[in-house]
């Protein structure tokens, strides 16, 4: 944008106007040739001063506002972007308690509960919180039978899934109770189990994960899982 600054002449009251634009800086007199502070200033002797347009605009900072689900996240809270990432995170968690938090940006209950979940994550640094955006990963959520929000699943080492439930601010005691019950130290009985076999098969059948993770099911059992497991027409309830 162009701008100009008028500097008064202390001797005769006449003025000098300084004009500028993003690309150059130029001096111009308000009259053809006048004295400024006792000296004659001729604008023709001054060459334009080039400015870097990028630097000229760098002083204007427009910060991107964080979405509510991006605020107050702790180091042990990880955003999941694919079914494969979820499977790998559960299998690599060892004996840690893992809480999978299913949420949606438009879910009022999820938004209201988010600050408390972040506080609980801070108070339980040894627990891993995996956040799943329902809107971005609908196919995966259908396969995992998640049809109500906010929704949580707890996994622990070789036990695999230990509990799952929907929770709101009004029923936060349920969440705290599960953290206390399944978050205590215990001896590992084997490698982390992660998702159930039926869930692995369901995710593989829709191309969400690698097929080498699929357990060996016979044909009848496989068809039963595929028919009853997930359909995109299933409705989701939002608390």
**Residue numbers in the chain where pLDDT is lower than 50:** 10, 12, 18-34, 36, 51, 56-63, 217, 219-220, 223-224, 230-232
β-sheet with 3-8: strand ranges across: 3-8, 15-20, 24-29, 49-50
Q: Is 110 a catalytic residue?
A: yes
**Is the backbone peptide bond immediately before 159 cis, with ω within 30 degrees of 0?**
no
Exactly one of 19, 61, 110, 167 is catalytic; name it: 110
pLDDT at 91: 95
Query: What is the pLDDT, as a whole number, of residue 29?
Result: 44
pLDDT at 162: 96
pLDDT of residue 210: 79
Of residues 145, 138, 108, the one with CA closest to residue 239: 108
Q: What is the pLDDT of residues 18-37, one digit of tens each?
A: 444 444 444 444 444 445 45
pLDDT single digits (tens) 75-87: 999 999 999 999 9
From the candidates 61, 107, 167, 187, which is the catalytic residue?
Answer: 107
Handedness of CA 37, 38, 44, 45 (dihedral sign): negative
* β-pair partners for 20: 3, 25
Whether 107 is catalytic is yes
């Amino acid at each position: 944008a162009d701008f100009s600054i008028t500097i008064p002449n202390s001797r005769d009251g006449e003025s000098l106007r300084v004009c500028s634009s993003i690309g150059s800086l130029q001096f111009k007199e308000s009259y053809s040739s006048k004295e400024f502070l006792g000296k004659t200033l001729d604008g023709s002797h001054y060459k334009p001063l080039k400015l870097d347009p990028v630097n000229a605009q760098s002083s204007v900072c427009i910060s991107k506002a964080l979405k509510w689900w991006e605020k107050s996240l702790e180091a042990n809270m990880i955003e999941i972007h694919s079914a494969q990432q979820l499977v790998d995170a559960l299998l690599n968690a060892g004996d840690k308690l893992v809480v999978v938090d299913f949420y949606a940006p438009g879910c009022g209950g999820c938004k209201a509960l988010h600050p408390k979940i972040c506080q609980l994550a801070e108070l339980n640094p040894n627990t891993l919180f995996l956040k799943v955006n329902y809107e971005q990963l609908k196919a995966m959520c259908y396969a995992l039978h998640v049809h109500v929000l906010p929704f949580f699943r707890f996994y622990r080492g070789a036990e695999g899934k230990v509990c799952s439930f929907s929770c709101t601010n009004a029923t936060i005691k349920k969440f705290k109770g599960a953290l206390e019950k399944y978050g205590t130290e215990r001896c590992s009985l084997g490698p982390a189990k992660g998702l159930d076999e039926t869930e692995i098969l369901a995710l593989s059948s829709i191309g969400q994960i690698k097929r080498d993770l699929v357990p060996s099911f016979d044909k009848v059992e496989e068809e039963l899982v595929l028919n009853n497991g997930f359909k995109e027409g299933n409705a989701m309830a939002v608390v």
